[in-house]
Amino acid sequence: MKWVTENIEFATGEKYQLLDITYDIEEKINSLSIESGVCIINVPHATAGLIANENETGVKEDILNRILALAPENVTYQHDRIDNNARAHVISSIIGTDSVFIIEEGRLVRGIWQNIFFVELDGPRSVRKVVIKIFGE
Ligand code: ZN
């Protein structure tokens, strides 16, 4: 049984953005030669999130627009008195920062139209991180 922790680091270029990290994660799994196991993906940030869905321009725009509507702009947020990013904190709390996938036959089990996205809610940032815990054999 292998227990491995891997990090993926990258920069983001927009204030709000969906970044496809599917292939970065699959590359880590391939390099470990795990046939059957579990992959926990975690975003260790309070102003970002994680979702799984289709990588299609229209769907991505729809998702981002609906996500941003979860915490409207024209509302008073107490946290904005400190660092003006309350919306990012609220949305991150609602959509969540982690996901679990099964690994079978050496591959991440996911739908054909299901990619994994880091959701930037307070960019651009020079360093963002995703932590992956993989265990299996
Ligand atoms: Zn803040």
- Distance (angstroms) between ligand 1 centre and the Cα of 47 equals 7
The pLDDT tens digits for 2-16 are 999 999 999 999 999
pLDDT for the residue numbered 89: 98
Helix (H, G, I), strand (E, B) or coil at 14: coil
- Distance (angstroms) between ligand 1 centre and the Cα of 123 equals 12
Query: How much is the average pLDDT of 48-63?
Result: 98
- Distance (angstroms) between ligand 1 centre and the Cα of 39 equals 29
Can you give the pTM of this predicted structure?
0.96
Instruction: Catalogue all structural domains in the chain, each as residue range(s) with its CATH number.
Output: 2-136 (2.60.120.460)
Query: How much is the average pLDDT of 105-111?
Result: 96
- Quote the mean pLDDT of the chain: 97
Q: Give Cα separations from 67 to 6, 39, 74, 109 (angstroms).
A: 28, 25, 15, 25
The pLDDT tens digits for 85-96 are 999 999 999 999
